[in-house]
Structure 1
Amino acid sequence: MSLVTGWECRLVGTDEWRAVPVPGSWEQAGIPLDHPGPVEYRATIVAPAGERIRLRFGAVSYACEVLVDGRSAGRHVGMWDSFDVDITGLVTPGRPAALLVRAEKPASLTGGPDAPPVPGTYPARETLAGFLPYVWGHSHGGVWQPVELVVSGACALGSVDVAGTAEGSLTVAAELLAPGSFSVEVHDPDGKPVASGHRDGGGPLSLTIPDPRPWSPDDPALYAVTLRTSDDDSRTVHTGLRTFGADGSLLRLNGDPVFPRMILSWGWYPDRLHPDPGPDQVRADLLELRRLGFNGVKLCLWFPPDYYFALADELGMLLWVELPMWLPHPTPHFRSQLFAEAERLVRAAANHPSVVLLTLGCELSAAVGADVLGPLYDLVKRLAPGTLVRDNSGSGEAYGGLLDEFADFDDHHFYCEPAYFRSTLDHFAPRWRTPRPWLFGEFCDLDTFRDLRRFDADRPWWTSADPAVNPQGARWQYDVPAHEETLRGNGFWDRGEELERVSAKQAVLHRKVTLEAVRSRADTSGYVITGERDTPISTAGLWDDLGELKVAPAEFAQFNADLVVSLDWDRRRAWVAGGDRPAPWDTWCYVAGARVRPHLVLAHHGRRGGVAEARWRVDLVDGAAVGSGRLAGSAAAGSITGLGIAEFVAPSVDRPRRAVLRVEVDCAGQHTVNTWSFWFLPDNGWSGAGPVAVVDPAGRLADLSAVAPTVVPADTPDAVLLATDWTEPVRRHVRVGGNAVLLVDAACANPPLPVAEMPFWREAVKVIEPHEAWGDFPHDGWTDLQFAGLAPDLALSAASLPLGARPLLRRVDTRTGVLHDYAVEVPHGAGRLVVTTLRFDGSRGDQPLGLRRNTGAAYLLGQWVSAL
């Protein structure tokens, strides 16, 4: 019998009872967000006759006592799991009884993750509160999942554990609440009875399923397992027969290769204050994720209602369950609760075939050691033998935690700028270690711009600057309340639509580049993209605050599917300072006659291998053909295969032109398409430039003469001066009427504008402003890969721009709204001075080594010199 209506709540110590939704949270009834309770819930129940009468709570946050007519019926601590309270002796069947639930939630923090907690019995960092408090500042409180009245005979079912293998072995274990027996009947996915059994007393019962139909994302076949006790209490559990494990670095599901491609979910649903979105929302989300190419979800530091697991089972979505342990203070209460809650949560999760991966916590530091993680790992392995388990998602070596791991797989969280991603992979690659899967438990975020104007006057509470409405709590990002003021101050408030559009393009590009790098390596085994939807602390979601998808599913699935084709390139070396070094070069920009040699690499994680046939063609954006061809090779299931080289020659052009390489591959009944942009440049990019001079104590322009037609002495008055330091001769050159470009990096002493370290691609929108210095450098109003070799890790303070400054390339921080510049013309005396942090010499990560290898950058520098 459902008990989800007629509830009221009040703060303890007050007389103001107010209606409260159940399921729901007390914050929805107007209780202040940062108030930890206690809060009392009341309702009236009328129990029918029965030998055993129980209250079943889906979940209550965080600790509660249940009273019936003023008498204590039971207590529970733990915000994520369901529990029963036996009230048989406390009610008279047919008569009303007063039900009261007194609850407290984890006490939030006062101003960020390292701030003191607000007063409360259970400080958040001493509980398994998970990550949600850091998403919106606080934990949800109260009876946030349904309540039921359960009437049964004395021999009722307690916990039930069901697990099956792809070979047809099925184990059913039941807890009986009184002496008796239970029977089991199993129906196959078509509803046909296929197995049955009986057991006296509780414990495990082993069955064999004839002609088993294994569960998988391609065929999520579910068997109905019905248990019935000798007192006629019954329960039906839907389960799947599946076997999951590691074969070296390859993951296998039922013997077939599988590459988990998951989205990160923190359990944030913007239209409510608790992680119970309802089955319809979850079903719609999972189906849309399938269209985007995902085959799973990581439940990062939260535990959803049971229907979430049931829907993942039904729809064939893999789940990675992460126990909600993050930034803990491991007090004695925390340690005892950790093991008690972990057992309950893991047992619930292990009933579901969709759950294949488990982590004990996330980005744990040395605060949690082997004395905790070792026994916890053993417990989880015993409770969920059909999963792979790891102690610390992100790894101790990356987050200062335990180095001697308890782990079945490697897991790192790489939030990288593209230029550093491949070298970071190389640095952490398992290499000589015992081969095992290597997954990225969260990575590859890119925040897009949030245009608050879209909310009109009805803005969410978490945008408010009123601390009574929107207290900071545990959030370290608390910039949204100041966004409008910040953006109005820097002139970008009315450009929100442009910033959203540009940042959405940049987000897809960043993820495409990153995922293709992962899929081109045979030692990677799966990933989790951050994240599912925008939150108050991050706009890296694929869904925005209004629930609208920010990407086109078909485009995203090109690089996020079982079958993905990506590009790799020839390698080059340079002799530098008496030894060999890698010499990366600009793979996206070419002058006429250059040979372009993209290697086609096929990642095939379908179930069957076969012949892979590739068709490629390159066309200018106006439709003129540049080259085409066919390639073929054999691709085994679970393999990374080079299909060959789509070689062509860059055409002669009279102006910069963008071209698109399109590759289609068919393999074993699967089809994939992917595309990349290239830019073809005239070989006279410096034709309009006069003489240039150099002041280069940093040595960044040592190869300038390879691209500039005329390099003259530094004291030549009419020359455009290229400088890497703001010396007095450079200042004098500009002051008396000369023109100069100042390349600022960390070694540049006393630059004319302050600089700050920050990422170029991540957490920022790049805005290309009108300026004659761009010349005919190719761009479509946003920074595509023609900027890859230019990306810096420094930006100029826009707050210090003098009157008359003319920006070329700007940076709007997507989290704070703060404005910086990457290139700006500033007045200085009688001359013209462009100050920039753009790296025309590349040389960071896998950027081109030097100006002459940085084809697109060299062309842009020629345009700047010509304009000056």
Structure 2
Amino acid sequence: MRLKYNLNGHWNFKLDEHDIGEKDQWFSRALAYEKEVTVPHIWQREIDLVNYTGIAWYEKQFELQESFKSKRVFLCFEAVDFHSVVWINGELIGEHEGGFTPFEFDITDAISFDGINRLTVRVYDPADNAEIPIGKQGSWYTRVSGIWQDVYIESRSGIFINNVHVHPNIEEETAEVHVNISGNTNNIKLVEYSITNHMDTNHILTLEDEFDEKDLVKKINIPNVQLWSPNQPHLYDINIKLKDGNNRLIDEYKTYFGMRKIEFKDGQLLLNGAPLFIRGALDQSYYPKTIYVAPDDEWIQKEIKTAKEFGFNLLRKHIKVELPRYLYWADRLGMLIWAEVPNVIKWSKQSMKRFQNELSFMINRDFNHPSIIIWSIFNEEWGLEWDLANDQEKQEYVIKMYTYLKELDPTRLICDNSGWNHVKTDINDYHRYFTLPEQNSEWKDDLDYYIINNPENNYVPGYIPKDEPIIISEFGVWGLPSIKSLLEYYGEEPIWFHNLGDDTHREDFKIPLTAYENFKKYQVNKVFGDLENLSKFSQKRMFRSVKSLIEEMRKRPQINGYVITEFTDVEWETNGWMDYTRSVKQMFENAKNFNGNLVVMANVLKHNFWSEEIFTCDVIISNHDLLPISGELIWQISGTNISGVIALNEENKAYIQIQDAIKFAVPVVGDASFYHLKLKLILENGVEVENYEELTFSTKVEVNPVTVFPYKMGNQFIEKLKLNGMSITNQFEDAEVVITNVLDAAVNHYNRRGGKVLFLAEEGDQLTDKGLFTFRRLPEGESWDRTSSFNYVDCSYFDGLPINKEMGWELEGIFPDYIIPISNYNKLGGTVGRIVYMFGNENTPKVSRILSGYFQGWIGQFGTSMIVQNNSSGILTLTTWKLIKNYGEHPIATRVVNKLIENLISGKA
């Protein structure tokens, strides 16, 4: 019925840096263009325009077929960023603002059917975009400007269907169809509804109804209804025809929908009445060469299938209106979607008007996608200027927007302000960034005492939770990608290596080029050899960390789900499970072992054991699909004959805890070493899942007697030195090594005269006497910046000890709170959180051997937690690892101190 003419392809293009085009009437004649471009077109894809903001002109010439002549003709844009003015044959047609959603113009009276038509579009994307819905484009990552989605012409009757919204009702097995019509409806007498299974021509039902109003609402019974879910994503096509009194067709409109229901009750999400547990990933939908659009449908399908292979059932489309084709494949393949409108930056009446318009258009366009189960209004108060808790006007606005959305769409859940202070919401979600194993105890406490036991803390004072489901909708850790692979993919160094975000996101660790500069300068090369090797260790560490973060959440049934940050890397931000080119990072092919619908976990309380200690732990089964757990659990300690089998016959519960399931005496081992506690769950229906925990076992060994002076150390530490075979003196001149947490004149004098000093500086800035060393306290508690960090160690200095280069669970409880800063850094000072600019010491790597380093992101914010310095005759080893209280108790801490003493005696540096 409707004819469509695609206008994608070659267009003429010209910049208008001085805004003279409209004054000089470029629209009135053929454009004196600078280049030919292919629409859809993001001009930042061109290297010379990557930083250009302002005005550009597009022109396309076309001829229309005679068949268009008897209809109204509409010019349709899927999205243009940001402001558009449109002319046909020099005649002004209209203008539009908003960069993410469709708009159209009736051009019937402006076009010619007898020759060539000239379409001219002036696009303005201003540099000052604070009051424009932008999301992260231009602020964090590459900006997007231009006619970046499809353009086409469509013929319609004078009376036509604008849109169709389908409200599924699974209890009644009905679909309530809302039809919105444009034009004079007097001639419409009948409306025909035809429903089929998706891509099936056999009608399930066809019925006609007499027309009696402009906005039709028709409740249609669907026989033998099939529900939509991620496991069975069944879709229905619906074709609606408008007919006149002679049964002649006036207009027809096709769309599709799914029968599903999303709700919550008593803190539990329900999909089609059954418990739903979210296993999601933040997806910013940026692409390495095409920026804001997926290269093709095959790319989209592969992404969704990979997400399912990882164990995800949801993608949170982060502050971007997703492409309709992506949403189609999410519907078709069964991937849940959490959708968010792009944020503005500045709070103003104008920005909120634009924001609400974009949100409304997004919901109108995407209403029928069954995959979308949640709409977000705000993200972390972006656009509310981070003052929601103190501003009643903004609180009232959030409530107003929640109510407005519920009226627009009563079929979905709404999150008012993702991650932070809530006012009125269906989801109590949190953004919590912790780094494991460094912050293991802090993460557990945060889950138990902040999130689970005190959910009201996540609401604006005066508002309380009402059993909304708890979801951790952002968390994660960085893992550096292979630079070699990126260069091979691009064929050259990508421009975003310079970081194309604004000044608020240009710290050194967010700029990939920093890695080239600092890799050798800070001695990182001495541990990892090259950047390619560093990326492998960084990814291994990332895998361990997110595995543990997720497992701790799954051990707590009060948490209804989580959304990892993030699905893929985006330019400089490298916390994706795939890199920017969609290559899976190391070890993540096994992600389903901790991120699948069925997961078995050992609830170990610590990871490092002495021989003959008694190991005991519970086993927890997280069972999101509510499978009957009938079968057996097999466990084994790798490299030993220690194992066991546990018979299981449990109901189909979401959470099962088997107390003291595993118990054994740690064997006497020849030397400290790594071991794995391996778990395998085998169910009678053939389902098998595996998992593991990393452990170390150590046997206490005698050390060569060394005379040490524990200068100003506590009695408890001194006694532990004795128990470990050290001879104690209280005189500098008798000491082979001085061990101290004080660097005063006496120690410096001893060191300069050839003495060997082990300076245990774990208290950092709390030390009164620390010589000329300065320290930086690492962020405590929740910290996005810290999740980009990487602690590493030169294992060659600790030969024979089970320590990974990417410091892991073997150093649980030992990780430093302080580092010696080498690069400059900032910290927040005072109750108002003003930035205090602090300084590092770039000279440290020139005069020290760095044994253990800390950096963020792309080797920025660098510091060290262990160094060796030689003066003319003495040696000083300084470490901020937490060794004093752990010595004699923690097997690896004990061996580390003994090894540091041994290396000082031997003069190793």
TM range (shorter): 0.7 to 0.9
Moved more, 416-425 or 56-65: 416-425
Moved more, 525-534 or 224-233: 224-233
* Residue 273 of structure 1, CA deviation: 3.2
Contact 2:47 2:495 in 1 (8 A): no
Aligned length: 813
Contact 1:487 1:818 in 2 (8 A): no
Is residue 2:154 matched to residue 1:150?
yes
**Shift in alpha-carbon separation, 1:59–1:276, aligned structure 2, 3 A:** farther
Partners in 2 of 1:675 and 1:485 — Cα distance?
Answer: 38
Partners in 1 of 2:58 and 2:573 — Cα distance?
Answer: 34
1:411 paired residue among 405, 413, 429: 429
**Deviations along 1:431-485, whole A, 9 cap, x unmatched?**
36543211122111323255368627943442566x9xx6856643452244323
Kindly report which structure 2 residues correspond to 1:34-73, keeping only aligned pairs within 5 A, or say none.
34-47=51-64, 48-73=68-93
* Residue 753 of structure 1, CA deviation: 3.4
Q: Which residue of 2 aligns with 1:92?
A: 112
* Residue 137 of structure 1, CA deviation: 4.4
SS in 1 for 2:767: coil
Q: Which residue of 1 aligns with 2:181?
A: 176
Q: Which residue of 2 aligns with 1:769?
A: 794
Partners in 1 of 2:684 and 2:219 — Cα distance?
Answer: 38
Is residue 2:252 matched to residue 1:239?
no
Is residue 2:308 matched to residue 1:287?
no
**Deviations along 1:30-80, whole A, 9 cap, x unmatched?**
662333322111112323213211111111111112211122222221111
Is residue 2:7 matched to residue 1:3?
yes
Q: Which residue of 1 aligns with 2:663?
A: 647
Contact 2:84 2:96 in 1 (8 A): yes
1:363 aligned partner, one-letter code: E
**Deviations along 1:339-391, whole A, 9 cap, x unmatched?**
22211112223311111122111111116812321111112222232222111
1:657 aligned partner, one-letter code: S
* Residue 691 of structure 1, CA deviation: 4.1
* Residue 856 of structure 1, CA deviation: 2.1
RMSD after superposition: 2.8
Contact 1:703 1:851 in 2 (8 A): no
Q: Which residue of 2 aligns with 1:390?
A: 415
Q: Which residue of 2 aligns with 1:128?
A: 133
Moved more, 661-670 or 445-454: 445-454
Moved more, 152-161 or 502-511: 152-161
**Shift in alpha-carbon separation, 1:128–1:251, aligned structure 2, 3 A:** same
Q: Percent identity?
A: 19
**Shift in alpha-carbon separation, 1:800–1:17, aligned structure 2, 3 A:** closer
Partners in 1 of 2:810 and 2:45 — Cα distance?
Answer: 49
**Deviations along 1:91-130, whole A, 9 cap, x unmatched?**
13343221111111252xxxxxxxxxxxxxxx32211101
Q: Which residue of 1 aligns with 2:677?
A: 661
**Shift in alpha-carbon separation, 1:34–1:804, aligned structure 2, 3 A:** closer
Is residue 2:535 matched to residue 1:525?
no
Partners in 2 of 1:304 and 1:626 — Cα distance?
Answer: 52
Q: Which residue of 1 aligns with 2:643?
A: 627
Partners in 2 of 1:380 and 1:700 — Cα distance?
Answer: 63
Contact 2:776 2:819 in 1 (8 A): yes
Q: Which residue of 2 aligns with 1:827?
A: 870
* Residue 696 of structure 1, CA deviation: 5.0
Q: Which residue of 1 aligns with 2:235?
A: 222
SS in 1 for 2:552: helix
Kindly report which structure 2 residues correspond to 1:260-409, keeping only aligned pairs within 5 A, or say none.
260-325=278-343, 328-364=345-381, 365-366=386-387, 369-396=394-421, 405-409=423-427
Moved more, 174-183 or 674-683: 174-183
SS in 1 for 2:432: coil
Partners in 2 of 1:86 and 1:637 — Cα distance?
Answer: 57
Moved more, 800-809 or 123-132: 800-809
SS in 1 for 2:602: strand
Q: Which residue of 1 aligns with 2:900?
A: 864
Is residue 2:122 matched to residue 1:102?
yes
1:476 aligned partner, one-letter code: R
Q: Which residue of 2 aligns with 1:796?
A: 820
**Shift in alpha-carbon separation, 1:41–1:483, aligned structure 2, 3 A:** same
* Residue 19 of structure 1, CA deviation: 1.2
Structure 1: gaps of 5 or more residues = 108-122, 397-402, 571-586, 843-849
Contact 1:700 1:724 in 2 (8 A): no
Partners in 1 of 2:593 and 2:560 — Cα distance?
Answer: 18
Q: Which residue of 2 aligns with 1:77?
A: 97
Q: Which residue of 1 aligns with 2:170?
A: 166
**Shift in alpha-carbon separation, 1:430–1:778, aligned structure 2, 3 A:** closer
Moved more, 729-738 or 645-654: 729-738
Is residue 2:476 matched to residue 1:476?
no
2:166 aligned partner, one-letter code: V
Contact 1:588 1:677 in 2 (8 A): yes
Partners in 1 of 2:801 and 2:264 — Cα distance?
Answer: 49
2:174 aligned partner, one-letter code: S
SS in 2 for 1:522: coil
1:597 paired residue among 596, 606, 616: 616
Contact 2:570 2:580 in 1 (8 A): yes
Partners in 1 of 2:903 and 2:725 — Cα distance?
Answer: 16
Q: Which residue of 2 aligns with 1:445?
A: 477
SS in 2 for 1:302: coil
Contact 1:756 1:795 in 2 (8 A): yes
Partners in 2 of 1:264 and 1:699 — Cα distance?
Answer: 51
1:425 paired residue among 440, 447, 456: 447
**Shift in alpha-carbon separation, 1:855–1:464, aligned structure 2, 3 A:** closer
**Shift in alpha-carbon separation, 1:754–1:277, aligned structure 2, 3 A:** farther
* Residue 243 of structure 1, CA deviation: 1.1
**Deviations along 1:162-211, whole A, 9 cap, x unmatched?**
23233322121121112135322111356542234435233321112122
**Shift in alpha-carbon separation, 1:635–1:801, aligned structure 2, 3 A:** farther
Is residue 2:853 matched to residue 1:810?
yes
Contact 2:789 2:854 in 1 (8 A): yes
SS in 2 for 1:271: coil
**Shift in alpha-carbon separation, 1:756–1:73, aligned structure 2, 3 A:** same
* Residue 549 of structure 1, CA deviation: 1.3
Partners in 2 of 1:509 and 1:836 — Cα distance?
Answer: 25
SS in 2 for 1:133: coil
Is residue 2:543 matched to residue 1:508?
yes
**Shift in alpha-carbon separation, 1:449–1:751, aligned structure 2, 3 A:** farther
